[in-house]
Structure 1
């Protein structure tokens, strides 16, 4: 009688036969897995080190070139990081150099193209036609995603570099740098009243930011637009026209720009007679040498705040919006959009000019603290676009890096403010000697050691108290705290 053989024994016996279809299918599946893993490995190798896949697959010349380029890029990035850590001013200068930016943009574009070609070649080396259909589809999708991510990131970075270069070229000129005076840069910040034909013609707000060239410690000297009866620097065009001072029925500080536009012949060769005249007036009042100016379109200012994502401010009183009033900004710590921030800074309904000046100083303080490097990086294109349409300055491109570094230093320093307004100064008959003494005292005090500086904050204090008028602590008779303070953030 023949022995009984189990079904499992027959299966093992027949499966061990070299020509059995189950064994062929098994081997095909295993070979497919090996090919898929190889294709996936080549893709990952190219993603982590471009050229490495070509090296292991025999394309030595292409592989060596790509690896060398990649190592050079990584080495350059590490070197820049080290330089930025040890000497940040060098990195800022490079970031403001249009030639360096042009080279970087080209390099990023070439890198994007080269890396994309290597990823496609790695996909080809993975022999996709010999993969199973699902594996082939998976590799096509994965390779496409990686190519899109790598090339897209590099091309977007190239685009941002182009935006930075265009911003530097459009915003800043190639003029001669102005040296610091007694260790300080004095930058005139002008808010131009918006409207047709008024760009740079009606100076609504004037503040001199006096910045220590070493520490970045800043004092804001506020000048009221209604000041009159003030002198001009000796030897200037306006000193010759007004030897006894700027004193007539319509002779206010903010009228200088309009007056100069009507007397362009006195400012031959100047493209900005209104700015030149305003600078002469402010230098005559303060005795400070103005290094540079920045003119901000007050109406367009809301675009900059909008690009920032809004500004958080401590609103102490209801602030009217519009003329006539159409709405209010309600009291409290609020995140204001660009439109609301503009009216917070310029509203005069139920307030006076000097309360408004105090609010404007608080806006400056909040912007300094809240416009962080992270905000600039994430919203750079919108900020650059807004700035080129609303800001005019004579700061040369060669100094952008220096002033960027000073602005970052200023964030950790107390910002002082001194305004030449009542009750300290009679704006219709200003005591020029007293004004200059106030300036000297403020600068001397700011240059004294002040411990570790101020803690980082939003640019205002939630806990500061005191009666307020028109949104600012203080009153017309006693003065507004934000107009006279050694630490602006504590009184905003």
Structure 2
């Protein structure tokens, strides 16, 4: 019995607010836990649909329409074509935006899922179902949200990697006539100098003991790689370079002859002639690009330096590499100084090496020559490619990116990265030829015939000039696979 404000007495049954809501939506009582789970899952798959199910049409539309719009735009943006995807993953600004979009969208989705569950769960329910329901929502958010959290983390790491390696990397020898629309400046080939050194860019004491020039056909991806010995003397500089005025007969000078080998150009030129090449964040890279280009008679467009001191971190990041070891490889040691090794990598097939042993497998020179080491380096690179399968890259990407920041240096402009990524995909399916300048009747690293080098390079790059006759140094030959297991048996006398 209730008295109204106007004094009229009414008789009725009072019900609590929750009870009244339950009577207006009696299905909530009948649905039980299975129904709650089903509608919550529907709301997770199509955010807002759970609200529509409960009769909250306006709220459901306000959630569902933006969710579909974001999902549709994201799928369209990333799936338009390969170039669009590359633009995204190689642009730090877009990656940072993507991180925030993922975080905000994931947070909004998680709140929507929880509110959907709150809307559809029965009003009259045992206490244990409340705990089970909350645990279910938490598990659903964790399972579905974890991949997106990982994606956001990878996007952040990728943005940091691109900014570290490809930002503030100005050199005075990069092409100036390139754009995003014409990344090669009308050239048929792009020439990239691959360097392996024992230190980081800009540090004193760096020697580039590995020097390989990759000349890539920009249309087909066909590549010719020219390997130069580290101890090549009297490197030539282009006639229009200030270094040619300083070294008209080639890179040389007084003192230790080792200071005037090709592998010393990176270190010595910035120390002897700072600022001679103009504005640059890496004068050593500029100098060695000019030295290689002048010696081979072609322009070197860009460089990529891999710090061998950080090579160990990369191998550890991918879980090690597997190689065939055909001869004992020394750890430490110096043949010239008479310093014995501190250990050995013993011969054997399919040996799994961690970063430390892989580094010495690639760089060990005690009791062997530079050309044997070059073969091992090629095998180590091939082993890294084999080990870096997609699953490994996904699982260990964070560690790889962190190691890459300390290992790789380059002057490739950031805006050209998508074009280089597309070119790399063409290279993967194209033919790769190698020209290695070893000691022969035509070539001696202590006193090179540079006319011979330039003619060899021109012949290798020009199919019209390349006769393909026997004895042609640029003609690919069938050679023994140095990466196969074929142990060297010591001769007993």
Pick the TM interval, shorter chain. Answer: 0.7 to 0.9
Residue 375 of structure 2 is aligned to residue 358 of structure 1:
yes
Q: Return the alpha-carbon distance in structure 2 between the equivalents of residues 293 and 411 of structure 1.
A: 19
User: Which of 48, 52, 56 does residue 49 from structure 2 map onto?
Assistant: 52
User: Which of 90, 96, 99 does residue 96 from structure 1 map onto?
Assistant: 90
Structure 1 contact 52–63 (Cα < 8 Å) conserved = yes
Structure 2 contact 196–305 (Cα < 8 Å) conserved = yes
Which residue in 1 is equivalent to 2:116? Answer: 122
Kindly tell me: are residues 269 and 279 of structure 1, through their superposed partners in 2, closer, same or farther at Cα, counting changes over 3 Å? same
SS at 1:130 equivalent: coil
Structure 1 contact 180–291 (Cα < 8 Å) conserved = no
Q: Deviations over 1:417-445 (max 9, x none)?
A: 21222125210111212212322333346
Deviation at 1:401, TM superposition (A): 1.8
User: Which of 254, 267, 285 does residue 275 from structure 1 map onto?
Assistant: 285
Structure 2 unaligned runs (5+)?
1-26, 171-175, 334-340, 467-479
Q: Return the alpha-carbon distance in structure 2 between the equivalents of residues 159 and 403 of structure 1.
A: 24
Structure 1 contact 43–123 (Cα < 8 Å) conserved = yes
Which residue in 1 is equivalent to 2:394? Answer: 377
Deviation at 1:306, TM superposition (A): 1.6
Q: Return the alpha-carbon distance in structure 2 between the equivalents of residues 316 and 463 of structure 1.
A: 8
Deviation at 1:334, TM superposition (A): 2.7
Which residue in 2 is equivalent to 1:425? Answer: 443
SS at 2:196 equivalent: strand
Deviation at 1:50, TM superposition (A): 0.9
Which residue in 2 is equivalent to 1:438? Answer: 456
Structure 2 contact 326–488 (Cα < 8 Å) conserved = yes
Output aligned runs, 1:318-329, within 5 Å. Answer: 318-323=328-333, 324-329=341-346
Structure 1 unaligned runs (5+)?
1-29, 449-459, 471-492
Output aligned runs, 1:111-150, within 5 Å. Answer: 111-127=105-121, 130-150=124-144
Structure 2 contact 192–215 (Cα < 8 Å) conserved = yes
Which residue in 2 is equivalent to 1:392? Answer: 409
Which residue in 2 is equivalent to 1:39? Answer: 36
Which residue in 2 is equivalent to 1:71? Answer: 68
Deviation at 1:77, TM superposition (A): 4.4
Q: Deviations over 1:387-417 (max 9, x none)?
A: 1112111111112222223223333334322
Structure 1 contact 171–393 (Cα < 8 Å) conserved = yes
TM-score of the aligned structures, taking structure 1 as reference length: 0.79
Q: Return the alpha-carbon distance in structure 2 between the equivalents of residues 469 and 419 of structure 1.
A: 26
Deviation at 1:117, TM superposition (A): 0.7
Structure 2 contact 324–483 (Cα < 8 Å) conserved = no
Alpha-carbon RMSD = 3.1
Structure 1 contact 233–280 (Cα < 8 Å) conserved = yes
Which residue in 2 is equivalent to 1:474? Answer: none
Which residue in 2 is equivalent to 1:346? Answer: 363
Which residue in 2 is equivalent to 1:261? Answer: 270
Kindly tell me: are residues 462 and 347 of structure 1, through their superposed partners in 2, closer, same or farther at Cα, counting changes over 3 Å? closer
Q: Deviations over 1:149-181 (max 9, x none)?
A: 333332332221111111111211276656367
Residue 340 of structure 2 is aligned to residue 331 of structure 1:
no
Kindly tell me: are residues 304 and 231 of structure 1, through their superposed partners in 2, closer, same or farther at Cα, counting changes over 3 Å? same
Residue 401 of structure 2 is aligned to residue 407 of structure 1:
no
Q: Return the alpha-carbon distance in structure 2 between the equivalents of residues 110 and 404 of structure 1.
A: 30
Kindly tell me: are residues 392 and 430 of structure 1, through their superposed partners in 2, closer, same or farther at Cα, counting changes over 3 Å? same
Kindly tell me: are residues 239 and 298 of structure 1, through their superposed partners in 2, closer, same or farther at Cα, counting changes over 3 Å? same
Q: Return the alpha-carbon distance in structure 2 between the equivalents of residues 378 and 57 of structure 1.
A: 41
Which residue in 2 is equivalent to 1:309? Answer: 319
Which residue in 2 is equivalent to 1:457? Answer: none
Q: Return the alpha-carbon distance in structure 2 between the equivalents of residues 181 and 232 of structure 1.
A: 24
Kindly tell me: are residues 443 and 465 of structure 1, through their superposed partners in 2, closer, same or farther at Cα, counting changes over 3 Å? farther
Deviation at 1:199, TM superposition (A): 5.7
Q: Deviations over 1:30-71 (max 9, x none)?
A: 986622223112211112111100112122222112212232
User: Which of 280, 298, 306 does residue 308 from structure 2 map onto?
Assistant: 298
Structure 2 contact 106–148 (Cα < 8 Å) conserved = yes
Q: Deviations over 1:434-476 (max 9, x none)?
A: 212322333346999xxxxxxxxxxx96996878699xxxxxx
